[in-house]
Structure 1
């Protein structure tokens, strides 16, 4: 398990802080600018979801080292209302906020690995990983 840094998401400025943390860690690990942008976009989506739907939560970023490869793991955790229908939430174009609905399917496309664990009434934990190419 790598070293983990977390940003509490309570207001919109925290979304910016989480993006910045992600970009800095991605740079340190040697990600190129395109992948840095993908990672910060994914973090932005996850942090915004926490802010919009759960009110508060946290984004944690961890450096990964596996079989000589470096990577980054983003974990978004909240104690919000949870996601009633994960399959529906993962459909392109689905949005409950009237946004573009790039949301979770977009995060999944931007990253190499994606997992979601949610219990209605108990919050959500989303994990997304990206490996340096």
Structure 2
């Protein structure tokens, strides 16, 4: 996991490129890479517009411990200590999982995850009820 302090435009460019690299490494197609990169870029630009700034973390994740990486997780930490100033509605279209927590001591934390769609496995030994 890498942490990026977001304070100026060059930080937004760096974090956007790192997000694209991780999405490519995980195996997302070009459209999903673009959506992930756009979302990271918008979050970084949002942090730049705030006087308190913030930071982001990005990492490749697996759906189960020890599993091959099949998704990406991005966390935004807004250092503002009041009620959240983020409208998470637009994240719902791009994220598979979305968590927004507000803590008066630490600020707002937004976590979004996007999973790679894996092909259906036909070689499975799981049978329907009554089949053997």
**TM-score if structure 2 supplies the norm length?**
0.76
The alignment's C-alpha RMSD in Å is 2.0
Where in structure 1 do 4 or more consecutive aligned residues deviate above 3 Å?
81-84, 119-122
When residues 23 and 59 of structure 1 are mapped into structure 2, their CA distance, relative to the original with a 3 A threshold, is same
The structure with the greater share of residues assigned to helix is 1
Higher relative contact order (CA 8 A, sep 6+): 1
Are 2:17 and 1:20 aligned? yes
**SS at 2:33's partner residue?**
helix
When residues 39 and 57 of structure 1 are mapped into structure 2, their CA distance, relative to the original with a 3 A threshold, is same
1:83-117 C-alpha deviation (Å, 9 max, x unpaired): 35x7xx54xxxxxxxxxxxxx32222111111111
Partners of 1:5 and 1:75 in 2: CA distance? 10
How far 1:56 sits from its partner (Å)? 1.9
Partners of 2:102 and 2:36 in 1: CA distance? 22
1:110 to 94, 98, 114: 94
Q: Which runs of 5+ in 1 are unaligned?
A: 91-103
Matches within 5 A, 1:1-133: 4-67=1-64, 70-84=70-84, 89-90=86-87, 104-120=88-104, 122-133=106-117
Aligned length: 114
When residues 74 and 7 of structure 1 are mapped into structure 2, their CA distance, relative to the original with a 3 A threshold, is same
Q: Which runs of 5+ in 2 are unaligned?
A: 118-132
